Each structure stands twice: as structure tokens, then as C-alpha cells.
Structure 1
Amino acid sequence: MTGFISPAGSTFEQSLLLISIIVLGGIGNTWGTLIAATFIILLPEKLHALQEYRVLLFSVLVVII
């Protein structure tokens, strides 16, 4: 099966998420990127209980780190 990734299949939010993971983890650092990906993907799920403040808390934590 051969396929391709269409630009129409991604959103600005997904692009920003991937760039954030790369910048936080470090471009040449595989372990840092894996840790950053885990942090950025799992953190919003853990903050789901704080629905009103979730985006604010996530943004502040990303800026701090």
C-alpha cells in the first residue's frame, strides 16, 4: 500500500504542536524530542478536568519549560 500525506489533512494546531515538540525537545536530541512529545501530548489530557483553565495552564507550562 502506497500513500502520501496531504497538506489538507493537517491543521494549524497540528503543525504548531509538532513544531513545539521539536523546539522543546531539541532538533538533534532524540531522547529530548521523545520526552517533549510525551509531555506535550499527555499534558492536555491530564488537564482535562480543569476545562476552563486548561489552555491557560498548558500555555504557561510550555513557556516555563
Structure 2
Amino acid sequence: MEIEFDPAKAAANPANHDGVTFDEARDVLLDPFALTREDVDANGEQRFVTLGMGGQGRVLVAV
């Protein structure tokens, strides 16, 4: 899986989300034991919610 992200958003993310970096969020998406479900409440776009282990050993939710 290839994951790309906006550098400006990546720089701002730790301050907005309790220190979680985009690199750690990427680890959640690559976690082989992660649980992913479609977000049925998304308005007009297909979105997914993933629960998995981040690189710092935290269980995180990525949307």
C-alpha cells in the first residue's frame, strides 16, 4: 500500500491530535491486525475508519 500525505498537514497534525504524527498514523493503516470498516456516516464520500497499533505502541483510530 502506498500512502501519501500533505507535508503542511503532516507538520500540523501532532499539535492538533495529541502528538500523533502522520508516520504513526501510517503505521495504523499498515498494522496487519488492524480492523477497518466503512464510515457509513460520511457525507457523500467513501471513507474508512481503522483501529490499529501505532508505531509508539498506542492503539489509534485513523479516519
TM-score in terms of structure 1 length: 0.32
Richer in strand (by share) = 2
- Between 1 and 2, higher relative CO (CA 8 Å, sep ≥ 6) is seen in 2
Q: Which of these two proteins has the greater Rg computed from alpha carbons?
A: 1
Q: Provide TM-score, normalisation by structure 2.
A: 0.33
